[in-house]
Amino acid sequence: MLIQLTYASRTSKTLVPEDLKNILASSQRNNARVGVTGALCLANGIFLQQLEGDRTAVSLLYHRILLDPRHRDPAILDFAEIASRKFTQWSMGSLASLESNRAIYLKYSRSASFDPYTMSPTTLRAFFDEIMHNAAWVS
Ligand code: FAD
C-alpha cells in the first residue's frame, strides 16, 4: 500500500549548509534503496518533510529519522493513502533557501512566517503540489 507521511520538526541547533548537505546525501542514498521518495524543506529553523512509498518502508524510515539528534519536536501532520507518488524525480529533493521560495511559503502561511505546525493536511497537500511544479530546488 502506497502512503504519504508529512511531519515537521525543529532544528536542534543552528545548522550549517554542510549539515543539510549530509542529511540530503544520506537521504538520497538510503531512500533510493527502499523505494521512498519525497521532499524536504527548511525554513525558520523548522523542517517539513514529506515521505512517500510503501507503508512499512516509510514507517521504518520515519522512526529512524526520529532518532536523529539534529532535530527535535517532531509532529506528524498528515498520514494518508495515496493513489500515486508526486516526487517521482527524487528519492529526496530539498527546497532551495527560504529567500528563493519566499512567495510560495507566504502563499500557504497564515502569518508572515512559515509555520508548518499550524498547517492543515489540505493546505500541506496544496503546498507540496505547488512546490513540485514551481519551487526552486537545491541542485
Ligand atoms: P550516515 O549518513 O553515514 O551517518 C552516520 C551517522 O552519523 C548517522 O547515525 C547520522 O545520524 C549521524 N550523523 C551524521 N552527521 C551528523 C551530524 N552533523 N550531527 C549528528 N549526527 C550526525 N535519512 C534517510 O535515510 N532518509 C530521509 O528521508 C531522511 N530525512 C531526514 C530528515 C531530517 C529532518 C533529518 C534531521 C534527518 C534525516 N535523515 C534521513 C537522516 C537520518 O536521520 C539518519 O541520519 C540517516 O538515515 C542515517 O543514514 P546512514 O545510516 O547511511 O548514516
For the stretch 14-50, pLDDT in tens is: 888 899 999 999 999 999 999 999 999 999 999 999 9
**Residue at grid coordinates 525543529:** 10
Q: Which residue is closest in CA terms to ligand 1's atom 6? A: 68
Mutate to test the pocket of ligand 1, among 34, 65, 92 (most ligand atoms within 8 A of CB): 65
Q: What is the pTM of this model?
A: 0.92
Which ligand 1 atom is nearest residue 70's CA? 36
Those residues with Cβ within 8 angstroms of residue 69's Cβ, 6 or more apart along the chain or in another chain = 12
- CA-CA distances (angstroms) from residue 79 to 53, 58, 72, 90, 120? 12, 10, 19, 20, 12
Those residues with Cβ within 8 angstroms of residue 24's Cβ, 6 or more apart along the chain or in another chain = 40, 92, 94, 138
3-state secondary structure of 74: strand
- How confident is the model at residue 56, as a pLDDT? 98
Q: Distance, CA 27 to ligand 1 centroid (Å)?
A: 7
Q: What is the CATH number of domain 2-134?
A: 3.30.70.100
Mean local confidence (pLDDT), 73-88 = 97
Cα 62 off chain centre by: 11
Q: Is pLDDT of 139 > 90?
A: no
Those residues with Cβ within 8 angstroms of residue 114's Cβ, 6 or more apart along the chain or in another chain = 43, 44, 46, 98, 105, 106, 108
Cβ 22 under 6 angstroms from ligand 1: yes
